[in-house]
Amino acid sequence: MIMDTVKNKLKLIFPSHSENEGLARLAVSGFLASAGADISAVAELKTAVSEGVTNAIVHGYRETPGLVTVELKLFSSGRVRLYIKDKGVGIEDIKKAMEPLFTTAPEEERAGLGFAIMESFCDKLRVKSAPGKGTTVTMEKYIYKRDEP
Ligand SMILES: Nc1ncnc2c1ncn2[C@@H]1O[C@H](COP(=O)(O)OP(=O)(O)O)[C@@H](O)[C@H]1O
Ligand SMILES: [Mg+2]
């Protein structure tokens, strides 16, 4: 059995104000930098967390404000797991929501590319959501430089 233990973790809980998106980015980049992550992994996860937190704020809590939770876990294998959770409106059709260019907010000039960006900037993406219950996005990424082939 491969032992993959949690080496470090961080949990942030903040209200759905748009200025807190920058705070989440900073916290994620600080956590990863202090773990010695590769700079491209830091940049990619920062972008991915921005997209996920923005979605929680602008879509999840569109009608009623609420709390967003961002949780990070660093494993001894060098993998990071990142959770972005809201208890907002939830997503009716997850598959459709994840299609590139699909957006329910075209009038706000949303490009519909948030999920596509998150997917391309991490190794694994999972979306759990139910209408009225909220949404949890889980991303996993290996954060160190891979050995040259
Ligand atoms: N946390 C969330 N809560 C509710 N709906 C969401 C959430 N995240 C994404 N969605 C839905 O998925 C769609 C696609 O998201 P995304 O790919 O980021 O595109 P965009 O944010 O530009 O619309 C959104 O338009 C919205 O309908
Ligand atoms: Mg988005």
Domain at 45, CATH number: 3.30.565.10
55 carries an active-site annotation: yes
Structural domain harbouring 35: 16-142
Total tally of structural domains belonging to the chain = 1
Full pLDDT tens readout for the chain, 149 residues: 667 999 999 999 999 999 999 999 999 999 999 999 999 999 999 999 999 999 999 999 999 999 999 999 999 999 999 999 999 999 999 999 999 999 998 787 779 999 999 999 999 999 999 999 999 999 999 999 977 66
Phi, psi of 8 (to 5 degrees): -160, 155
User: Quick check: is 125 in a domain?
Assistant: yes
Give the pLDDT confidence score for residue 45 in this predicted structure: 97
User: Quick check: is 8 in a domain?
Assistant: no
- Residue 11 near residue 83 (C-beta atoms within 8 A): no
Q: Does 91 sit in the ligand 1 pocket, CB within 6 Å?
A: yes
User: Quick check: is 6 in a domain?
Assistant: no
Give the pLDDT confidence score for residue 122 in this predicted structure: 95
Give the pLDDT confidence score for residue 149 in this predicted structure: 61
- Pick the catalytic residue: 20, 25, 44, 51? 51
User: Quick check: is 131 in a domain?
Assistant: yes
Helices first, then strands: H and E counts in the chain: 4, 5
User: Quick check: is 112 in a domain?
Assistant: yes
Give the position, in ligand 1's atom list, of the atom nearest the Cα of 113.
17
CA 59 to chain centre: 14
User: Quick check: is 129 in a domain?
Assistant: yes
Report how far residue 55's alpha carbon sits from residue 33's, in angstroms, rounded to the nearest whole number: 24
User: Quick check: is 149 in a domain?
Assistant: no
Give the pLDDT confidence score for residue 3 in this predicted structure: 77
Q: What angle do CA 139, 11, 90 make, to 5 degrees?
A: 55
Give the pLDDT confidence score for residue 1 in this predicted structure: 64
Give the pLDDT confidence score for residue 109 in this predicted structure: 74
